[in-house]
Amino acid sequence: MNQSAVRIKADRALEEIKARTDIVEFISDYVALKKSGQNYKGLCPFHSEKTPSFMVNQSKQIFHCFGCGVGGDVVSFLMKQENLSFGEALRYLAKKTGVALSDSHFGKTVSDKRDKIIKINEDAVHFFMDNLRGASHLAMAYLKNRGLGDESIENFHIGYAAEQRDGLLNHLKKKGYADSALASAGLFTADSRGGIRDLFRRRIIFPIFSLKNDVIAFGGRVMDNALPKYINSPETEVFKKSETLFAINIAKDEIRKKGYALIVEGYLDAIMCHQYGFTNTVAPLGTALTSRQLQKLKLLTRKAVLVFDSDEAGISAARRSLAVLCDNGFTAKVLLLPRGEDPDSFLRKSGAAPFKKLLADAVSAAEFLFRTAKGDRTEKVREALGLIVMVKDIILADAMLGELADRSRINESVLRSELEKMRRKSGLRPSESAGTVPAVANREEYLLLSAVIAFPEKAVAVLSRISIDDLKEDTVRSIFDKIKTCEGALTVNSILGCADEEERSLITKLSLRPGFDPEHVEQNIEDCLKTMMKKSFEERKRLADISGDVSLLDSLLKEKRKMMKRMGI
């Protein structure tokens, strides 16, 4: 079967699934929704908020949050809420609605492989836990000496990998797993004899879970000073180290409840924080914090507190993590522990109350940079501005700038001017407010796209009068390009079906708040096209002025007179 035929069948299956799914009823299982005009409104499940900004439209079968900008259809909602792939979300909805899917369309082979790895990992967890409880007094003594209670050991499914070279391998083979399935799980490694042996030996085992609570990998720690101290499972079909946060499965409910996450450095730091009541704690897997990890965390919150040692290494690590957090739209604070302490050692020595007090005194990103930057006041301010320039959220960036002005006692307008210079130099600019049509220089492009989304039947006429390549806004240009290549009847859902996450956010936002009176759509389209033509002419004239081409300028002026006459200006 050729690819276009497969795509048609896939699209039809998706349309059927959506037709049988009431998006309001479905999302109501996750969010308390109330009728609000033509829409339903509730608190967004993807970020912390007190005033509802999450909207669901039943007739259009879409959702959009005007707080964090997330938007899409029932499939993209399920993907974000449950951290599922497109194929996994589709299979779930197909089963729920009774729509039959062809295995070849939605990667069932890949799904079967993933499911098999997760099942192998689950059996491995029980094997390691049984080792700890029944066979290794030494490992249990180590954990007790490290201050871990029985409840923590149980909650985190901590286990032990013994000395035996193939203990886990033989255990899983007895359960009937094929060699090919075991090889894909990442639990074994080649040995000098040309065979394979257990990857984890003589190590405390920390299972790593996904947001959905599936066992996706393992971390292993030695009980002495041997190196490497920690090793992790290699990447597999179900595990990507740069996308995974330790303890997120246990912490997710408390993160949502408290509205922020504590981010620490290691497994034991995270476990000890949970043991002492700070159950909104997560940790990267022995690496620097990544954007992909924060994409997972964004499903739960957009606020974080970094916990680091106050030595030079800790301060440097906090700076790097702050840059990533700000670049991903997080509001961040920093808690610096006394020199030489990490959360694990501090909590065991001092207990929960002093840690809670330090947490209450955690400083903002701007304050942290100002306190820890080297050099004079000017150098400190420049370093802080270097972080603020990375912040894409214009409201967050503005708040940070105001705080820096207060802290540095430098006039805010001076700082704002310097920030704009840095933005121009770097080519960066903050993202627009998540309100309605963005208040940008090319607002008419958004309004024109909004008209086409609201009235898809206008698309052909609009596309015949514009050059997509000349559009200035990247996301608008990309969506128009996809509209041009859409096959079949054009609808909001068909446009969403071929859009990426950023594009879906803009499409759903404009669909729910178009920025113009629908009764005057024709006038809106004409006004937008006229404005775009005028801007295009002015840009061409500007370039002709720079070049000093007199004949070109004369030609452009004649063209302008014709254009004005045609427009009735």
Single-letter residue type at 169: L
Domains 3-97 and 248-426 share a fold: no
Per-residue pLDDT at 321: 93
* CATH number for the domain running over 108-239: 3.90.980.10
Interatomic CA distance for residues 410 and 417, integer angstroms: 12
Answer whether 125's CB lies under 8 Å from 172's CB: no
Per-residue pLDDT at 450: 92
pLDDT in tens, the chain (569 residues): 443 343 445 567 788 888 899 999 999 888 889 999 889 999 888 887 778 999 999 999 999 999 888 999 999 999 888 777 788 888 888 888 888 876 554 545 556 788 899 999 999 999 999 999 876 688 999 999 999 999 999 999 999 999 999 999 999 999 999 988 998 999 999 877 777 899 999 999 999 999 878 999 999 999 988 889 999 999 998 998 988 999 999 999 899 889 999 999 999 999 999 999 999 999 999 888 998 899 888 878 889 999 999 988 899 899 899 989 988 878 899 999 999 999 999 999 999 999 999 999 999 988 898 888 888 888 888 888 888 887 767 777 888 888 888 888 898 888 988 888 888 876 655 544 344 555 455 788 999 999 999 999 999 999 988 888 888 888 898 999 889 887 667 888 888 888 888 889 899 999 998 888 888 889 889 888 888 887 877 776 676 666 666 676 667 666 666 655 555 54
Q: pTM, whole model, 2 decimals?
A: 0.65
Longest pairwise C-alpha distance within the chain = 92
Helix then strand count (H, E) for the chain reads 26, 16
Per-residue pLDDT at 443: 84
* Terminal CA-CA length for the chain: 56
Interatomic CA distance for residues 157 and 116, integer angstroms: 20
List Cα–Cα distances, 474 to 125, 369, 492, in angstroms. 47, 33, 19
Residue 56 in 3-state DSSP? strand
What percentage of the chain's residues is helix, strand, coil (to nearest 5)?
55, 10, 35
Per-residue pLDDT at 435: 42
Per-residue pLDDT at 281: 98
Who contacts 498 (Cβ-Cβ below 8 Å, separation ≥6)?
482, 485, 486
327-330 long-range Cβ contacts below 8 angstroms, 24+ apart: 327/291, 327/390, 327/391, 327/392, 328/291, 328/294, 328/295, 328/298, 329/68, 329/298, 329/302, 329/391, 329/392, 329/393, 329/396, 329/431, 330/294, 330/297, 330/298, 330/302, 330/303, 330/304
Interatomic CA distance for residues 523 and 530, integer angstroms: 10
Answer whether 517's CB lies under 8 Å from 454's CB: no
Residue 515 in 3-state DSSP? coil
Single-letter residue type at 400: M
Single-letter residue type at 116: K
Per-residue pLDDT at 475: 87
Q: Where are the beta strands (DSSP E) in 58-104?
A: 62-65, 71-72
Tell me which H or E stretch contains 500.
none
Map out the domains of the chain as residue ranges.
3-97, 108-239, 248-426, 443-567
Answer whether 333's CB lies under 8 Å from 80's CB: no
Domain 443-567 is in which class? mainly alpha
Interatomic CA distance for residues 428 and 422, integer angstroms: 8
Per-residue pLDDT at 90: 85
Residue with tokens 């004949």: 551
* CATH number for the domain running over 248-426: 3.40.1360.10
Residue with tokens 């359960």: 175
Count of C-beta atoms within a 10 Å radius of residue 488: 10
Per-residue pLDDT at 538: 74
Enumerate the H helices of 227-376 as residue ranges. 248-258, 267-275, 291-297, 312-327, 343-350, 352-360, 365-372
* CATH number for the domain running over 3-97: 3.90.580.10
Q: Residue 98 region, left (φ>0) first, then alpha (ψ -120 to 50), else beta?
A: left
Query: Alpha carbon 361 to chain centroid distance?
Result: 28
Residue with tokens 């206008």: 458
